[in-house]
Amino acid sequence: MVLALLEYLWLIPLGFVAGIIGSMIGLGGGFIIVPALTFAGFQPTLAASDSLFAAFCNAVASTLSYARQKRIVYSLGLKLALLSIPGTVLGAYISDEISASTFKLLFGMVLVASSVYIYSRRKMEPKEHNLSKQLVILIIGASFFAGIISSLFGIGGGTVFVPLMIVAIGLSMKLAAPTSQFILMFAAASGMIVHSLLGHPDYAQAGLLSIGAFAGGIAGSKISLRVDERKLKIFVTLVLVITSIKLFMDAFNISVKIP
């Protein structure tokens, strides 16, 4: 047991880096953890379920810090979180049914969407909306979908929640990312429970990831107040694009030979 833990100590710094970046942009950090685990040879279901433990701890730490900064809209966050829970249950069950190549292909698409969101997040403008019937349906459907991808890919669902809160609901970016972390705390917990009931996670590995992600969440929420967002945005976008290309290549069994 001790030797196994020593073999996977690299999961702590992985969780820490993912926790910092995930906390700052409101995505939870799973979009870094899951590809890293997949490239390291982890099965997709194991990678996603382990990542959810880290996403939960990252969200708890971020929420505690953002709560002290008074940047969380609790009433909205709780409603969106509850709407996402049925999707997290479905996502956990779907993860048992898809192949590794399909997982990599779909996850690559999610990363492309995430990179578009991150690159354009400064251009998003909060808009005031009246909650019409159509908008309510959009919010319910988007929250359910966010729950599915949160549990299926172990990434938290912030890619959906942050743009939804800014563009559809009219929240500012300053409040949207912290509120997203509050939502992810519930979404990740729900997915974590269902994955555990299905026997997916490795608790030792998930624990190491969670230690790093918790510390990263605290650090990220503090750094977010003074970071050069433009440089961070460019760096993370490049990482996501390169990672998605690698996932697509793996999904289609494309290899690059270096002479």
Q: What are the extents of the domains in the chain?
A: 11-249
pLDDT band at residue 258 under the 50/70/90 scheme: very low
Q: How confident is the model at residue 92 (pLDDT cuts 50, 70, 90)?
A: very high
Q: How far apart are CA 188 and CA 52, in angstroms?
A: 6
Could you tell me the two tokens for 240?
């996501």
Instruction: Write the DSSP symbol of residue 252.
Output: T
Please determine, for residue 250, whether its predicted confidence score (pLDDT) is greater than 90: no
Query: In residues, how long is the chain?
Result: 259
As separate numbers, helices (DSSP H) first and strands (DSSP E) second, the chain gives 11, 0
d(CA 23, CA 222): 9
Average pLDDT over the chain, rounded to whole?
Answer: 83
* Residue 125, pLDDT score: 59
To the nearest whole percent, how much of the chain has pLDDT over 90?
31
Q: What's the rounded mean pLDDT across residues 243-248?
A: 86
Average pLDDT over residues 22-27: 73
What is the pTM assigned to this prediction? 0.83
